[in-house]
Amino acid sequence: MAKIAIDAGFLSGAQIPDTIYYPIYFADQDWKVPNRTAYMMGLKEHRPTMATVLDWEKKEQLPEVLSWAEEAATYVDIVVIIPKVRGGIEKIPRTIAGATVRLGYSVPTKYGGTELPLHEFDGWAVHLLGGSPHKQMELAGHLDVHSADGNMASLMATRYCQFWINGTAKYARNRWWPTIKEANNGELWIGENAHHEAFKRSCENIYRAWHGR
């Protein structure tokens, strides 16, 4: 799966700690169960270009968030701070310990999401966390999006053999996420694993859609 994405033009990312198959550009963590020691050890080992830190969910957390960011900055070039406190963005520094700060916007899903008004992110480079490709691209019309991640394409491929397309699959139950079978005139896929084919199509279509904006 990682090779398919890289071949399509994507950069590799991973949640740390996790199994790393390729050199990673981006690192994230389980924001619900943060483990600072394990995370920083992973950043030190893999040296990604960009990494998130602890989500800023309560006002009193800011010193802790900045402490995470300062430590992460010793291993990465871009630190992603994820603000979820209304009116708090103005307190975030543009650089920290020599690293550039990028704001993370968590696309609202069942897993989580940022509830701040979009205008609070004005003037900042933004990284989009999670969400569907079309929702991410919709947000890119309102935010200065420099990067985006998301596991939805891989999950849709491995669980349902569905692939992302730009909303034009009128033949499918879901015009954004047709199945390989629907795209194959109702016939089962013959050849390589169908979920690999679905993921390949998603990666190619997502890459093309972003670069066509």
- The model's confidence at residue 192, banded by pLDDT at 50, 70 and 90, is confident
The per-residue pLDDT for 18 is 85
Distances (CA, A) of 129 to 63, 121, 179, 183, 197: 23, 14, 25, 29, 24
Phi, psi of 125 (to 5 degrees): -70, 140
Let me know whether 77 and 58 are in one domain. Answer: yes
Let me know whether 48 and 127 are in one domain. Answer: yes
Query: Which of 99, 114, 149 is at the close of a domain?
Result: 149
pTM: 0.92
Let me know whether 141 and 177 are in one domain. Answer: no
Query: Which of 149, 169, 191 is at the close of a domain?
Result: 149
**Considering its fold, how many domains does the chain have in total?**
2
Domain span holding position 106:
2-149
- Asked if 31 contacts 15 with a C-beta cutoff of 8 angstroms, the reply is no
- What is the per-residue pLDDT across 81-122, written as a single tens digit (0 to 9) for each? 999 999 999 999 999 999 999 999 999 877 678 889 999 999
- What is the per-residue pLDDT across 3-34, written as a single tens digit (0 to 9) for each? 999 999 999 999 998 888 889 999 999 888 88
Q: DSSP readout, 4-73?
A: HHHHTTPPPEEESSS---S--SEEE--TTS--HHHHHHHHHHH--SEEE---B-SGGGHHHHHHHHHHHT
pLDDT above 90 as % of the chain: 84
